[in-house]
Structure 1
């Protein structure tokens, strides 16, 4: 990540900063007045000043002045800045801390490039003048760092991103954060994880189950985050068509988000115990791949009849949820998954589906998502469809007929007995086809920012919204 500094007085060693004097102020005001929509959030109006210093000034619209508008302005400004250019930002007086945070998040998020891309980040240094808000900058940095990591992991090609490789990346990231521990299970240690073994059984790259923990002293609230980690999804025996398979390197976006959020909680030293569980597998086609009609025994001992091997995400998540209930006994569980295409049909590309039997938890997550710029909409967990899940040979079928996102959520609800559970189906917003506000083309890291906002609202003993 490139550097952002907050300063009222430039460093003596820094490049000379040109103050916004009366002449420049008048030029900017005249341009803004003459340009329709100049104040729209994320709109950049360029003032060329040849043979003068500065030679170019960007006017960034901040719309209603809310945090999201400042985030959009930051993202737009960084995209208008050349790769090797320093960017000087002059803020008006009285800018709120939330606005500074939004601006900084936008700068970092809009300036993201995949770590293995041939081009460097969009700017080497950004200095924000007129607002000494160090706390806002620290929060923005931790949030953006989490989003960058989630994007990097998701953008990595599946030719590299085997379950073993991804587990290794998680271990390496945890090693840089004091207080974060990681356990990676493989081979015989996965004997009870029947769903994970079934889904990963068709691949030459065996599955892994990763448990990461942030447990600060004195924490009394325990949140478990569960993320789907399918490193590539062919659909298995129920194989996907080509167009549906092209982006399946993103099918571990939920795992990337929960890992990044847990590391972000450590970066911010949040007083909340957080455990991230990521079942990692590649859903491949081979002679050892699991079949439609197979009966799978999950971690909790219950069974599922596989009726569609392209509905593999819920099968690996079921093991993780069963493990959380049996071993960890958390106060609440939140799982994220690129689970169903039906989510996109219902809600479009920018909004995730939220399912929870707990209205207060759902409201708190929705509020956290709105503040972070990651939207979600609560959908019903209707028991009217439970008859669709009946099986003649197992406790349930894995992919029953009915509304796709709802049926997947009802399946998952079986595996965590506590009411304090939420499921976020974020398949559509996990990927952007083009730059869009603070999102860059490719993986969005969806969920990492929401989870950090939510965890930050906890006081270590009381669940936000309860």
Structure 2
């Protein structure tokens, strides 16, 4: 029987990062690189494959599963079984075992999944296995055949192997002068459901992987490359020509005319002016109110006059991760032609000290008309969100507002990097977010919002102050929520602990995580107001 091949050599060209030629570095005018990151392996989907290159076999125990379309003769299976016993391989969730010299394959990589759940968590388990395979084979030069065990699930589940592999093979190497050429031969996913897997990959998951790449790239770039104006241009390039997408950008005069004193105050100490970028996608038609995602976009956070300690300050280039996730979510939904309406706001500024910088004790007027007393200039994220919220609620009348930000160190101390802190006053929306956390692999944990926190934010000279002595993560979220009009469902995601990983995991190499792209993509599709 001739093998059926679906979605042959699906191109990953769209994943390649945008060229940097137009991104001059303020101060030197010399960009650090004009080359993109290395291209990832392309994907194929087939019903059969011959013994060539590396073979990946997911395993939930010690027994080799039945494979469709990939032949291992009796002697080869016996050799693999002996090696499993000799190595003590149990098929556990984080186990891999590489075997060479068996059955004509350059190597056979066994990837443990652990006992497979039969609920929504199955998708995450298969995605993780794909990601671990990608990271284990990062230096493998030959083609890869990924054998999907029979009876594992429908294509909606098994296609997660491909998404996991795509996420796990991410690399950011454009600034390495001596970088080694990455593998270019394809990964072929072999399954009886190859055609359905390929269709799902092409129609939905490839867009999600591309969006995660965009968000990771934006957060990984140094602050002399990504600042408010270049963030806007990089996003324009990524979304150019995507049907249903429109982009609006407010510069300083436009924001000043609208009374956006909050974001303007944050950015006034920098030579790089702030921007308010609005990216909308209409996939459900005009009558449906959009889901609004407002992302904090501080492209570098020095703390301003309330200067941060020097140790670790370089990581503050990632303080725009919320904005990166917001615009990337629109890319994911729009490229997949999702039947939803969504609008993302990237509230972009650079928080720097200087002769014109905002001071502790200053009072600013937000677009909403509320006045705010500045307590610490290092609590700037909530300030840019305030004007972003007011603008999107006033102009777009959204069905719900999600704010996402690397907002507080208190969220990190409470939840480390395992969970994103979730806040809100609308239980239906909170439950919907929690429900999509498991299948997407982006877990949340709800923290409290109590009316008594309002007392911590009372100012003697303004409508409110923007910081207090109470629980930091909850106080920050309460401040943000105070700018959402009553009656509009709202939830807040504090990703201070999850936007970056020093450890890495199955689908996320060390570095920027793009946390929230998968969760918000799923939420936009599933939540009904």
What per-residue deviation string (whole Å, max 9, x for no partner) do you get for residues 329-351 of structure 1?
11001110000011110001121
Give the equivalent residue in structure 2 for 1:57. Answer: 108
Choose 243-252 or 300-309, whichever is displaced more.
243-252
User: Structure 1 pair 268/235, CA: closer, same or farther in 2 (3 Å)?
Assistant: same
Distance in 2 between residues matched to 1:412 and 1:358, nearest whole Å: 15
Give 1:7's aligned residue. 46
> Which runs of structure 2 are paired with 1:278-297 in the superposition (5 Å)?
278-297=346-365
1:25 has 2:77 as partner: yes
Three-state SS of the structure 2 residue aligned to 1:428 is: coil
Counterpart selection for 2:337 from 251, 256, 269: 269
SS of 1:235's equivalent?
A: coil
What's 1:379 paired with? 447
1:215 aligned onto 2:282? yes
Q: Does 1:440 align with 2:476?
A: no
For the pair 1:201 / 2:257, whether they are aligned, the reply is no
Partner residue, 2:22: none
SS at match of 2:246: strand
Contact 1:32–1:39 (CA<8 Å) still a contact in 2? no
In 2, Cα distance between the equivalents of 1:47 and 1:110? 21
Distance 2:291 2:100 in 1: 51
**Secondary structure of the structure 1 residue equivalent to 2:452:** helix
Q: Give yes or no for the alignment of 1:237 onto 2:295.
A: no
Q: Are 1:451 and 2:520 an aligned pair? A: yes
Partners in 2 of 1:69 and 1:443 — Cα distance?
21
1:176 deviates by 3.6
1:274-332 CA-to-partner distances (Å, cap 9, x unmatched) read: 10001100000100000001001101111100000000000000001111222211100
Q: Match of 2:210?
A: 145
Pick which of 366-375 and 443-452 moved more: 366-375
Q: Secondary structure at the match of 1:54?
A: coil
Q: For the Cα contact (< 8 Å) 2:48–2:70, is it kept in 1?
A: no
Aligned residue among 134, 158, 171 for 1:113: 171
TM-score computed with the length of structure 1 as normaliser: 0.94
Residue 134 of structure 1 pairs with residue 195 of structure 2: no
Cα distance in 1 for partners of 2:326, 2:292 equals 9
Give the TM-score normalised by the residue count of structure 2: 0.83
The gaps in structure 1 that reach 5 residues or longer are none
Task: State whether residues 254 and 337 of structure 1, in contact with CA within 8 Å, keep that contact through their aligned partners in structure 2.
Answer: yes
Corresponding residue of 2:159 = 101
5+ residue gaps, structure 2, are 1-11, 13-40, 56-68, 117-121
CA distance in 1, matches of 2:478, 2:54: 58
* Shift in alpha-carbon separation, 1:124–1:201, aligned structure 2, 3 A: farther
Equivalent runs, 1:364-443 vs 2, <5 Å: 364-417=432-485, 418-443=487-512
- Residue 252 of structure 1 is matched in structure 2 by 320
With over 3 angstroms needed to count, the CA separation of the structure-2 counterparts of 1:201 and 1:80, relative to structure 1, is: same
Within 2, Cα distance between the matches of 1:411 and 1:361? Answer: 19
- C-alpha displacement of 1:25: 2.3
C-alpha displacement of 1:112: 0.2
Query: After the TM superposition, which of the residue ranges 164-173 and 304-313 deviates more from structure 2?
Result: 164-173
Is the contact between residue 79 and residue 122 of structure 1 (CA under 8 Å) also seen in structure 2?
Answer: no
Report the alpha carbon displacement of residue 392 of structure 1 after superposing the two structures with TM. Answer: 1.1
Larger displacement relative to structure 2 (208-217 or 19-28): 19-28
Compared with structure 1, are the counterparts of its residues 115 and 179 closer, same or farther at alpha carbon in structure 2 (3 Å cutoff)?
farther
How many equivalent residue pairs? 458
Distance, in Å, in 1 between the alignment partners of 2:182 and 2:278 is: 32
Q: 1:71 matched to which residue of 2?
A: 127
Structure 2 distance, partners of 1:361, 1:123, is 43
**Counterpart position of 2:229:** 164
Q: Following TM superposition, by how much is the alpha carbon of 1:202 offset from its aligned partner in structure 2, in angstroms?
A: 0.2
The 1:94/1:340 distance shift into structure 2, 3 A limit, reads same
Conservation of the 8 A alpha-carbon contact between 1:174 and 1:182: no
Alignment partner, residue 91 of structure 1: 148
Instruction: Give the superposition deviation at 1:10.
Output: 4.8
Deviation of residue 122 (structure 1)?
Answer: 5.3
User: In terms of mean alpha carbon deviation, does 107-116 or 75-84 score higher?
Assistant: 75-84
State the match for 1:342 in structure 2: 410
Between the aligned partners of 1:212 and 1:232, the Cα distance in structure 2 is 22
Pairwise mapping of residues 315-330 of structure 1 onto structure 2 (< 5 A)?
Answer: 315-330=383-398
